[in-house]
Structure 1
Amino acid sequence: MAVFAFIHGAGDVGWYWHLVEADLRARGHLTVAPDLPCEDDAAGLPEYADAVAEAIGDLPRPVVVAQSLGAFTAPLVCERLPVSLLVLVAPMIPAPGEAPADFWAHTAYEQEARVGFDDTVALFYQDVPPDLAAAALRRGRCQSEARMAEPSPFRAWPDVPTRVLICRDDRLLPVAFQHRVTRTRLSLTPDVLPGGHTPALSHPHQLSDHLTAYAAEYGIA
């Protein structure tokens, strides 16, 4: 049995992971997926990490799985608790001391060829079943930008095995961009899932397969 702790992305909720959680629990694993205080102007990355650490509590050595902006919270969780494995999914991979607001300029994001999408569904949920996309939109929250310009307090990547999963048809973070950032920031080659930016809703079983395979690879399952 493994413990999986999930960190959602910007303006989202823990519900985002519910299909993956159900799949993993059916396989005998434990999961937690807290809501981060992302709409709170007083909360920044340390408070996001507090919410995850509180949800993990006394559960032993979790696999931490972070989506998109959640990748900025993940290293702080790894500094606070013993973590067995870190998995980043369609991530904004942070550099030590980087502010989330600086990620785009520091990674030369605007230089990547990408198609603009003004519609939220077309950008984030293009391959998600319509009922799930509608539910995600209803549950979504405003992401506070009040503290996104603050440098992250982590100063070195945590000494935790790390894997990266990117999405072949991601419209927010194009696959070539993700490959480049993963190589330059972590010296890793990412694995590739089908679909867009939100695979926990569009391809939950394939995502669960990757997570359980990683856990088995590192002797966690």
Structure 2
Amino acid sequence: MSLFCLVHGPYLSTWSWDLLTQEMEARGHQTVAVDLPIEDPAVGVAQYAEVVSEVLQGFEDDVVLVGHSMAGLIIPVVGSQRPVPQLVFVAGLIPHIGVSSLDQFYDEINPNLLKAIGYDPPEADKFEQFQDKPNMFNIEF
């Protein structure tokens, strides 16, 4: 059977996979949940991919990478560094070739969502708070 490597999104940790892990293991699958250093603002996609790769050292090639949310940016990087039969995106950011993830995020976000969360300055067409995080959101595939 395959090993399912579960990579969480922002503001989460390995606990976010607890119910899925229990269910998958009850059905005979092997799982490993990776704990990303999300508390460090200097860490970006490349470093997160290194963390995942380190966790996977010693496992055979039959690893399915599962990424939630922002981890959709991480699992393709890991998948480019080792053979993986499958990438699974769970409500994930799916990278577009040749487009930075920050630009993609701006293009895809629903303006009504911004208003719903209280972000509606008339002159703002981008999230300024992400401008200082080039490691995370300005990676280009």
TM-score range, shorter chain: 0.7 to 0.9
How has the CA–CA distance of structure 1 residues 11 and 44 changed in structure 2, closer, same or farther, with 3 Å as cutoff? same
Q: Deviations over 1:65-110 (max 9, x none)?
A: 1111110001101001110111111112121254443332232x23
Mapping of residues 109-148 of structure 1, within 5 Å? 109-111=109-111, 113-114=112-113, 116-117=116-117, 145=133, 147-148=135-136
User: Structure 1 residues 33-42 or 83-92, which shifts more?
Assistant: 33-42
Amino acid at match of 1:5: C
Aligned residue number for residue 69 of structure 2? 68
Structure 1 position 48 matched with structure 2 position 48? yes
1:43 shift after superposition? 1.4
Match of 2:78 in 1: 77
**What is the correspondence of 1:10-49 to structure 2 with a 5 Å cutoff?**
10-49=10-49
* Distance in 1, Cα, partners of 2:78 & 2:43: 15
Residue type of the alignment partner of 1:147: N
TM-score, structure 2 length as denominator?
0.77
Q: For 1:16, what is the secondary structure of its paired residue?
A: helix
Q: Is the 8 A contact 1:104 1:110 kept in 2?
A: no
Q: Is residue 37–residue 47 contact of structure 1 (8 Å, CA) maintained in 2? A: no
Deviation at 1:11, TM superposition (A): 2.2
Deviation at 1:62, TM superposition (A): 0.7
Provide the C-alpha distance between the structure 2 equivalents of 1:62 and 1:110, rounded to a whole number of angstroms: 34
- Deviation of 1:117 after TM superposition, in Å, equals 4.4
The answer to whether the 8 Å contact 2:43/2:136 transfers is: no
Give the superposition deviation at 1:51.
0.9
Match of 1:197 in 2: none
Letter paired with 1:92:
L
Alpha-carbon distance in structure 1 between the residues aligned to 2:110 and 2:22:
37
Question: Quick one: which amino acid aligns to residue 22 of structure 2?
Answer: A
The 1:6/1:57 distance shift into structure 2, 3 A limit, reads same
Q: What is the match of residue 190 of structure 1?
A: none
Identity %: 33
Residues 11-68 of structure 1: CA deviation (Å, up to 9, x unaligned): 2212210111111111111111111122213311011111111111222221111111
Could you say what the CA RMSD is over the residues aligned between the two structures, in angstroms? Answer: 2.3
Q: Is the 8 A contact 2:45 2:139 kept in 1?
A: no
Q: Contact 1:6–1:34 (CA<8 Å) still a contact in 2?
A: yes
Residue 91 of structure 1 is matched in structure 2 by 92
